[in-house]
Chain A
């Protein structure tokens, strides 16, 4: 059974999630490329502007006669109020003649470069070195801190927006996946019920006309058709069973009269007995088939009323105890707390008798058959457990169908309809019927819903004391 809770693992595997994430990743890459391009162009433009300023300044200073250059530089430095511009003049011996920075001496000439702060260079600079006519080296620098800040901000924006988009994509993928996944769960649950044999079940249709609605409609049409065919087959089977019962009964009655006539030789009498026994078996099968049909048609609910399971189980164990003793099997009954259910007492007795009878049939001498009535927060349960060979997991559903007998049941007498009758009675009552492994043996579990609407008092052990 599916859990109603949606787990991230389930959501992650949906097509919607994967497609949304894929589109999100492509979108994120596109946005990142665009922002990267903007960033690159901005950085390039800022550098180009700095370089133009530096070259313009260099051109102005180059036109000044060498003798006046130092004086001019001093004036420039004195009036450098913005603290954006930096200048330095290095003579041929490599000594700084004047300047507000001490640039490295190995700079390539006429090529602006970025220089990180260092001793003698307090700020990050774009620096251009040129050779004067007198052979000195003139350094013209411009503080690029605002550009670096701008670049940092653009980079931060890139990272933050990238992460935000990724988170948004992930959240959108989950949000978009949940509703379809819930829908698929509903469809899957309906499908499972149909697969379990409930051909009255239909896939839910929301009326949106989307692909899931189309699929559900197709499945519903198919199930309807299958249901119609199954009903026809069942009707035909029931009709055959019903119509053949009367002539077969007449036949058996005639055989009985012939047998009791007393004029038959012994060998013929024994042949007639065998024929009567065979007819009895066929009539038994027909009767069982018709009973199952009657239960499945739900015609028996008029006889429903409160049924106390405790005394009913005691009655069943009293009935089967001699059979258990005869087969050297221990039959135990454990009733924690009595339970009252709504149902047909005769039918519940018949179904539970059938389960106990089955358990005793399949349990070897020395084995145990246990009947338990449990009432807890999950509801009411009746469990019939045996220590026989059990039923293989892949056969447990099949044995509830008509005429199916477990592979290793060939030696055990029976019509192969007992569990089908039980299943039909349980279905009529709305009780759950599960077959499980008793390690070893078979565990049959019946879940009886707790009725909230009756207001009936359920007797307890305390009441009886």
Chain B
């Protein structure tokens, strides 16, 4: 169970975030203003923070900047009604780890928190990522399935690496597109589907279930075993 600090002054939104994160098994602490949020984030060991941009007291950008100044490196998901890419860039530059625009699907928000939590627990120095029969050598950029080498193109490797880093969790097409390709628009379901299908074709072995599961209406999950 992870401890999440939800910083949101709008009651219905705060409730929605808390409910969704609690449904994912996290322990949620709700705070409605920036000053208290800064104080608690410094004092208490949270695993992640969802942070509204516009807050009474200290605004979201200042809050995350002050956290980073004090070496509090807890992952922060910025949430804002401001949709411009410029705003997203400003949020990430201030120290935010991800940016979500209001209104948002609660499941999408939870997925992003999961991605942040996973990033936090990743052993940064690890050179090998293992997911079931798949082994990814991050240094030599090689992939093995059942110890047999598999040839992947550059983008296929990045896609697999991202899925493997979040193995066991469902990640949406949109998050995949943002994290692997770095663009913030909806490329349509079909495009990511064919990239996943291509990856499956190279990784799956006959007689065994696919290593990547499609979760209808939500996204994909790389199976850990």
Interface of A toward B, CB cutoff 8 Å: 245-246, 248-250, 252-253, 256-257, 260, 273, 276-277, 283-284, 287, 290-291, 294, 299-300, 302-303, 315, 318-320, 322-323, 325-326, 344, 346-347, 349-350, 353, 357
Cross-chain contact B84 with A294 (CB below 8 angstroms): yes
The CA-CA distance from A283 to B102 in the complex, in Å, is 12
A253 in contact with B105 given A322-B195, A326-B194 (CB within 8 Å)? yes
Cross-chain contact B12 with A294 (CB below 8 angstroms): no
Of the 9-residue stretches B64-72, B119-127, B135-143, B184-192, which lies at the interface with chain A? B184-192
Cross-chain contact A249 with B105 (CB below 8 angstroms): yes
A300 in contact with B187 given A253-B16, A322-B198 (CB within 8 Å)? no
The CA-CA distance from A253 to B190 in the complex, in Å, is 23
The CA-CA distance from A294 to B86 in the complex, in Å, is 12
The CA-CA distance from A324 to B144 in the complex, in Å, is 27
Q: How far is the CB of B189 from chain A (nearest CB, A)?
A: 9
A246 in contact with B183 given A322-B198, A326-B194, A357-B191 (CB within 8 Å)? no
Among A246, A276, A283, A320, chain B packs the most CB atoms within 10 A around the CB of: A246
Instruction: Encode B89-111 as 1/0 by CB contact (under 8 A) with A.
Output: 10000000000001111110000
Q: Which residues of B contact A299 (CB under 8 A)?
A: 84
27 A–B contacts from the bound complex (CB under 8 Å): A245-B103, A248-B103, A249-B103, A250-B12, A250-B16, A250-B103, A253-B20, A256-B107, A273-B216, A277-B217, A291-B83, A294-B83, A294-B84, A300-B86, A303-B89, A319-B155, A319-B187, A319-B191, A320-B191, A322-B195, A323-B190, A323-B191, A326-B197, A344-B85, A347-B85, A350-B183, A357-B188
Cross-chain contact B183 with A349 (CB below 8 angstroms): yes
The CA-CA distance from A346 to B106 in the complex, in Å, is 26
**Assuming A250-B103, A300-B85, A350-B183, what are 11 further A-B pairs, CB within 8 angstroms?**
A245-B103, A250-B12, A256-B105, A256-B107, A300-B86, A303-B85, A325-B194, A326-B194, A344-B85, A346-B184, A353-B185
Q: How far is the CB of A447 from chain B (nearest CB, A)?
A: 23
A257 in contact with B194 given A246-B103, A346-B183 (CB within 8 Å)? no
Q: Who on chain A is nearest to B188 by CB?
A: A357
Q: Which residues of B contact A245 (CB under 8 A)?
A: 103
Determine whether B19 belongs to the interface, using a CB cutoff of 8 Å to chain A.
Answer: yes
Contact of A303 among B16, B86, B198 (CB under 8 A): B86
Cross-chain contact B186 with A290 (CB below 8 angstroms): no
Q: How far is the CB of A263 from chain B (nearest CB, A)?
A: 14
Determine whether B1 belongs to the interface, using a CB cutoff of 8 Å to chain A.
Answer: no
Contact residues of A: prevailing secondary structure: helix
Q: Which of B180-209 contact A (CB under 8 A)?
A: 181, 183-188, 190-191, 194-195, 197-198
Q: Which residues of B contact A319 (CB under 8 A)?
A: 155, 181, 187, 191
The CA-CA distance from A357 to B186 in the complex, in Å, is 12
Q: Which residues of A contact B83 (CB under 8 A)?
A: 290-291, 294
Q: How far is the CB of B31 from chain A (nearest CB, A)?
A: 21
Q: Which residues of B contact A325 (CB under 8 A)?
A: 194
Contact of B194 among A260, A291, A323, A344 (CB under 8 A): A323
Determine whether B23 belongs to the interface, using a CB cutoff of 8 Å to chain A.
Answer: yes
The CA-CA distance from A180 to B85 in the complex, in Å, is 49
Q: Which residues of B contact A257 (CB under 8 A)?
A: 19-20, 23, 106
Q: How far is the CB of B6 from chain A (nearest CB, A)?
A: 15
Q: Which of B1-53 contact A (CB under 8 A)?
A: 12, 16, 19-20, 23
Q: Who on chain A is nearest to B187 by CB?
A: A353
Q: Which residues of A contact B197 (CB under 8 A)?
A: 322, 326
The CA-CA distance from A323 to B102 in the complex, in Å, is 31
Q: Who on chain B is nearest to A323 by CB?
A: B194
Q: How far is the CB of A81 from chain B (nearest CB, A)?
A: 111
Q: Which residues of B contact A357 (CB under 8 A)?
A: 187-188, 191
The CA-CA distance from A344 to B12 in the complex, in Å, is 35
Q: Who on chain A is nearest to B16 by CB?
A: A253
Instruction: Encode B158-191 as 1/0 by CB contact (under 8 A) with A.
Output: 0000000000000000000000010111111011
Q: Who on chain B is nearest to A256 by CB?
A: B107
The CA-CA distance from A15 to B94 in the complex, in Å, is 67
A253 in contact with B181 given A273-B217, A303-B86, A357-B187 (CB within 8 Å)? no
Q: Which residues of B contact A294 (CB under 8 A)?
A: 83-84
Q: Who on chain A is nearest to B191 by CB?
A: A323
Q: How far is the CB of A132 from chain B (nearest CB, A)?
A: 122
Q: Which residues of A contact B217 (CB under 8 A)?
A: 273, 276-277
Q: Which residues of B contact A300 (CB under 8 A)?
A: 84-86
Q: How far is the CB of B145 from chain A (nearest CB, A)?
A: 20
Q: Which residues of A contact B84 (CB under 8 A)?
A: 294, 299-300
